[in-house]
Amino acid sequence: MGTSEQTQTIIVKQKRGCLSGCLITLLIIVLLCILAPYILGIGIFAFLGALIGLSNSDSSIDSKSHNKDNSSYTTIYEPKKDKSTTIVYNDLEDEYDDPDYFSDDDIFADDIAYRYYSNSRFKFCIPYPKNFNVGQAPENGDGRVFSGKNAELRVSGSWKNWEIKELFENSKEWKHTVTYERLGNNWFVLSGYDKNGKIYYQKTVYNENEGDTITVTAVLTYDESEKQYYGKMIKYVFNQLK
């Protein structure tokens, strides 16, 4: 074979190689154009998913701070779970896995039947007369009102706002008449007459709960004509509030 023919063969092979390279490059470009929207879409969705996950983790409320510890009340009764409830407080809406509990079994003391109420938000528990009507749960979930014949039992919890001595003195000023008072290390009792002439008996206790101080107050108000009957009730109900 002559030199010119060899040269022509080499040039043909080079052209074929260039053509093949161009075709492969063109094919890759076409595939990228087809797949680019899908790849871009997956990337966008992954990015948005990461943002949503971070947002949820930052804004979620620590359930440990609000969920009721059932073991705290097993010495009194075994709470029975029904369904979750939603309450609103401090401008936040929080879903409670454990709502307030009411025992089903009657407990008798001095011929009076009681049942137990435990509050899921502030984790306190107190007996109430079975024949008392249970009031609706307030929006802030701090307690309940129980109403009976010529009597009312109010129970509520709150976060600590004052030292106990300061709250004790303020509570005395808020009352119409104080005929009995007693101050302990983490509790105090006040009794007397309200502005309507009814007898009231109040007990307030300070309890520690997961590093926070909770104030729980129960107030029983009743007619003086029922003093003997409700005197027995005070002994049982308020001794349970510790």
What pLDDT, on the 0 to 100 scale, is given for residue 27? 75
Cα 12 to Cα 15: distance, rounded to the nearest angstrom: 5
Q: How far is CA 75 from CA 47, 53, 71, 222, in A?
A: 50, 41, 8, 30
Q: Which two tokens stand for residue 72?
A: 């705290």
What pLDDT, on the 0 to 100 scale, is given for residue 179? 96
Buried b (16+ CB within 10 A) or exposed e, 199-218: bbbbbbbbbeeeeeebbbbb
What pLDDT, on the 0 to 100 scale, is given for residue 76? 34
Q: Which two tokens stand for residue 120?
A: 């899921």
Residue stretches of the chain with pLDDT short of 50 = 10-12, 51-97
Q: Cα-flanking dihedrals φ and ψ of residue 69, to 5°?
A: -90, 100
Strand partners, 59: none
Q: Which two tokens stand for residue 235?
A: 């002994």
> Which uninterrupted H or E stretch holds 146?
strand 143-148
What pLDDT, on the 0 to 100 scale, is given for residue 204? 96
Angle at 201 between CA 197 and CA 207, to 5 degrees: 150
Strand partners, 93: 88
Strand partners, 148: 151
What pLDDT, on the 0 to 100 scale, is given for residue 35? 63
DSSP 94-111: EEESS--EE--S-EEETT
Average pLDDT, the chain: 75
Determine how β-strand 101-102 pairs with β-strand 177-183: unpaired
Q: How far is CA 205 from CA 12, 138, 184, 231, in A?
A: 100, 21, 9, 20
Which pLDDT tens digit goes with each residue over 153-194?
Answer: 999 999 988 899 999 999 999 898 999 999 999 999 999 999
Return the domain boundaries, the chain. 1-59, 63-239
What pLDDT, on the 0 to 100 scale, is given for residue 81? 38
3-state secondary structure of 64: helix
What pLDDT, on the 0 to 100 scale, is given for residue 87? 35
- CATH class of the domain comprising 63-239: alpha beta
Q: Cα-flanking dihedrals φ and ψ of residue 89, to 5°?
A: -155, 150
Q: Please measure the distance between the N-terminal and C-terminal CA atoms of the chain and give it in whole angstroms.
A: 113
What pLDDT, on the 0 to 100 scale, is given for residue 101? 85
Cα 9 to Cα 51: distance, rounded to the nearest angstrom: 61
